[in-house]
Chains A and B, each alone.
Chain A
Amino acid sequence: MSEASPLGERQGGELKWQRLSPWAVLLLLLSGSASLLRQHMPLVLGAGAGLALVERLGLRELALGGAVLLILAVLISLLYYRRFRYCCDGDVLIVQKGLLEHREFKVAARHVQSIVIRQPVYMRPFGLVLWEVETLAGEASRIALPGIRRERAEALERELRPPEQWPGVASESAPAAERQVVPCFAISGKAIVLHGLASRSIYLIAAMLSPLVRPLERWLHDRLPQLDLDTWMPGSPLLAVLVGLLAALTLLALLAILAAWWRFHGFVLLDAGERQIQRSGLFHRQEQTLSLARLQVVEWVQTGLGRLLGRGYLVCHQYGALGGDAGESRRFLVPGLSEAQGAALTAHFWQTYSRQSDSRQGAAGQPLRRVDPSYRRVLFLRYLLLLAGGAVLVLGVLIPLELSWPAWSGLAAVLPLLAAVLAHWRWIATGWAQEQGFLRVRRGVVGQRTGIFPMQHLISLRLQQSWLQRRRGVATLHLELANGRQTLPYLKEDDARRLADTLLFTAESAQLV
């Protein structure tokens, strides 16, 4: 690669193509294996399929099969490397790749919405990174260059910076390229621990480990009689169960904290004017760039435990978010925030919003308006049906129990109470506020998510009324946004229609200026 054309730009009318680093072959193998292992580990370990396969085939045959697969994988990686090439033609990145089917991708700078640079631990010794670019078509359009030098990745990032970030275009006073990069948030050790506890990782880890429960149960069943339990186990069975539960919860919490540490160690958010850059990762370093011009929705998220601990995180949504809430870990996420920090950063991302609301309150702004109380009654009926159906299915069919009449009566009394509590919590959590050009929508039950977005970012809307809603004079408003749907259920019909008209006017008139 010559110094004059670090990105392989056009020279003498010919495009000068660049290849991945030769080490990329090894890295492709490693990342592919790591991904396979991660995806199939619960199945292989948990369900005992791995052991069954070893017993059925024998170790030698399995090793032979593994060697053949490895050779095949090496050959495929070599072919992939040979076919993979890229270059820049002006501000357009061209990538050609494909094993059987040859494909060419072209990404123009004006269509770029975010750029991510990842450096897994096994890439560090080679000084290589995994560079990814995402266009306005969303996460499905993501294109990766797996295994290029860091300096080349940074040069690509500069080359593909959207036009509004080019010097002289963004602002007259302080062009983006000349602005200094200022740290605006750095995570502390305590915040990482609290984020680990308050994030959804704890539930995800529990779900991931659930296939291990059955083998563990079998192992305990075989081993327990041989152990002298009386010496260290509590005498009471109830106490023993409680201790066991506490131990399991502690383990899950520990794993969640470790996961948070792995992902967010050294997290720092840098303000480079139009660009917001975040860097984090213990072994797996990651750098993500967000263009504020492409930002569509900022969401403040608090789980149930997070609300108790006073912690939450911000998710910045752009176009074409796939996977809903489950896929948010791939997005621009600011973790371990207190409520005040969350409000301040929301105001930082939406600068016009911050000018309108009290700087101390930030995202809190004016109090949210509740939806019609009939929503609570509808929710109560839904939850009651769901709980009653679940109870009948579990107690009547799956685990038939001989319950006495008082026990059934107690259950019949508890279910409506539980349904009423859940319905009330969800009704309380559901709210909205229209603040000048912004809309704030909150949803949830125990955990809560509050989306804040300029009204001009609406993509489409749907006003819906069932026959019951028409009788009660309420309506549900579904708002389609870049990151998915926001629903405002059971608004007074007049409010719903007024809000729909305002949203449409704002979105349509904003495109005309």
Chain B
Amino acid sequence: MTFTNASLDPQNLPALAEAPLEPVSPRLAPCQAVLRSLHWLLLTGLAALVPFMIADIAAWQPWPAVAVALLGASGIVLGWLEARRRAYGLRQHDLIYRRGLLVQSTQVLPLARLQHIETTSNPVERAFGLVRLVCFTAGGRGADMVLEGLTADRAAAIRQHLLARLESAEPEPTGADAP
């Protein structure tokens, strides 16, 4: 086993808080708004049109639909604001993605852990010229990081950079980290 255990100086470590982050495309907010609107329209339609079996309750049917519509409207507004605050950062050894409005989270994926990368987009995202970058790590537990709101050019550039890192990495980075 080869395990290094060098002493660290906690004061001089690269700080996550100081990492420069770049905002995602401003087109993400309207794109998210369209996607959320479609979602909530479907729910509001269901609440308004599904027939109630009991006549007494059926008289109140519009109100749940109004409540769902109001909930949807507030969700769309919050989603818009949240999408405007999203940002990502690519450092030499990791990828950072910050998201959230009320609950903010910053996710960091060390590039050494990267196994493969995918770019995906649904029709609405394509209409806005946006692409999602999906990063997978070892273990087969699904996607570990999904970067939403990248323009196609920017996603391609990041993908190229990550692929170059993957190719330059050792053939089997996961197995060599012996305890």
A binding-site residues for B, Cβ under 8 Å: 110-111, 113, 136-138, 140-141, 162, 164, 170, 274, 292-295, 319-322, 349-352, 436-437, 454, 456-467, 470, 480, 482, 484, 497-498, 500-502, 504-508, 510-511, 513
Contact = CB atoms under 8 A, between A and B. Distances in A.
B17 A497 contact: yes
Contacts, number: 146
A502 B13 CA distance: 7
A305 B106 CA distance: 39
Given A510-B177, A511-B173, A513-B4, 11 more contacts: A113-B175, A137-B138, A138-B140, A138-B141, A164-B175, A456-B177, A460-B137, A466-B104, A500-B108, A505-B14, A508-B110
Interface in B139-171: 139-141, 144-145, 169, 171
Contacts of A141: 140
A464 B179 contact: no
The 10 closest A-B CB pairs, nearest first, are A511-B112, A320-B139, A508-B93, A464-B105, A293-B178, A460-B109, A462-B107, A501-B13, A138-B140, A137-B140
B174 interface: yes
A510 B173 CA distance: 10
Contact of A459 (B14, B138, B171): B138
28 contacts: A136-B139, A137-B138, A170-B1, A292-B1, A292-B178, A293-B175, A293-B179, A295-B179, A319-B138, A350-B179, A351-B1, A436-B5, A454-B177, A458-B110, A459-B110, A459-B138, A459-B139, A460-B145, A464-B100, A465-B105, A466-B102, A484-B141, A501-B14, A502-B8, A504-B14, A507-B112, A508-B93, A510-B4
Interface of B: 1-5, 8, 10, 13-17, 93-94, 100, 102-113, 137-141, 144-145, 169, 171-175, 177-179
Contacts of B102: 466-467
A272 to B, nearest CB: 14
Q: Which of B15, B100, B141, B145 has the most CB of A within 10 A?
A: B141
Contact of A110 (B17, B144, B175): B175
Main secondary structure of the interface of B (DSSP, over half): loop
B31 to A, nearest CB: 24
Contacts of B173: 511
Contact of B139 (A274, A319, A467): A319
Contacts of B109: 459-460
A174 to B, nearest CB: 12
Contacts of A463: 16, 105-106, 108
A480 B106 contact: no
